[in-house]
Amino acid sequence: MTKQIITLSDNAAQRIKEIMANAKDPSIGVRIGVKSGGCAGMSYIMEYAKSSNSNDEVIEDKGVKVLIDPGAVMYLLGTEMDYKKEELSSTFVFKNPNETERCGCGESFKV
């Protein structure tokens, strides 16, 4: 079996379901990608997916549909997406085995 590109923790799946239930526009899932930028070179992008592109990688995990931008697949392989809620903030956290470096704020990474 090939390794899934990205897996969701129970917390992440639950939070995505909550976000989608409250979305103004209907969407089919969330799209995850990466872009150049941030202090370590790459940063994660997450947005509502209103439709799927023919070259998106589509993953369904714990009842949530995740569309992965084809340009991001090689950066995300084997990543676990988690959701952390702390006293003053809450955020999605990507546990990416491909990272060689991560900036102090956790917003960007290098592979």
**3-state secondary structure at position 21:** helix
CA angle 94, 83, 86 (to 5 degrees): 120
Confidence of residue 63 (pLDDT cuts 50, 70, 90): very high
Give me the pLDDT at residue 37, please.
Answer: 76
CATH code assigned at 10:
2.60.300.12
Note whether residue 108 is domain-resident. Answer: no
Share of the chain above pLDDT 70, in %: 88
Note whether residue 49 is domain-resident. Answer: yes
Give me the pLDDT at residue 69, please.
Answer: 92
Note whether residue 109 is domain-resident. Answer: no
**3-state secondary structure at position 50:** coil
Note whether residue 55 is domain-resident. Answer: yes
Give me the pLDDT at residue 100, please.
Answer: 77
Note whether residue 111 is domain-resident. Answer: no
Note whether residue 106 is domain-resident. Answer: no
Is pTM beyond 0.85 here? no
Q: 46 Cβ partners below 8 Å, 6+ apart?
A: 30, 31, 32, 92
- Dihedral angle, C-alpha 44, 14, 18, 87, nearest 10 °: -70
- pLDDT tops 80 at residue 102: no
Note whether residue 64 is domain-resident. Answer: yes
Q: Give the sheet arrangement for strand 29-36, strand by strand.
A: 57-61, 64-68, 29-36, 42-49, 108-110, 101-102
Task: Give the C-alpha distances (Å, rounded to integers) separating 64 from 14, 30, 42, 43, 78.
Answer: 9, 8, 25, 22, 17
Note whether residue 110 is domain-resident. Answer: no
The tally of domains found in the chain comes to 1
Residue 96's domain comprises 6-101
